[in-house]
A = this chain, B = another copy of it.
């Protein structure tokens, strides 16, 4: 029998690690995205909370809203039994994927644009020093 010493994190610890404020962590909890346990009144975040936080922040970098990230997380650890629900879930997953693929295209186009802009800068620098 293991004592199950699953590591947990204080609010400051987690906030510092991911470079967010404690307010943000409480806000995410309020929105149901995290649910730390309590030691008295003080929050204790589990490894699962930590993982979810990482997913949320990744979502943010991709421009997702918290609700969208929340949905994706729910998709990920949902164990719905109903066949119909499973099909609906798969459909939503496909939809999300389409968005991401579009985003991938947008991203490459923008990288090309930046490259272009940089080249023109470099050209300008040449013509200045000539």
Residue of B nearest to A58 (CB): B106
Per-residue 0/1 for A84-100: is the Cβ within 8 Å of any B Cβ (1 yes, 0 no)?
00110110011011001
Contact present for A106 and B63 (CB under 8 Å): no
CB-CB < 8 A to A60: which residues of B? 63
Residue of B nearest to A116 (CB): B76
Majority secondary structure of chain A interface residues (helix, strand, loop or mixed): helix
A11-19, A23-31, A117-125 - interface stretch: A117-125
Known: A61-B63, A81-B128. 11 other contacts (CB 8 A): A58-B109, A61-B106, A72-B114, A81-B124, A83-B125, A83-B128, A83-B129, A86-B128, A87-B125, A93-B121, A100-B111
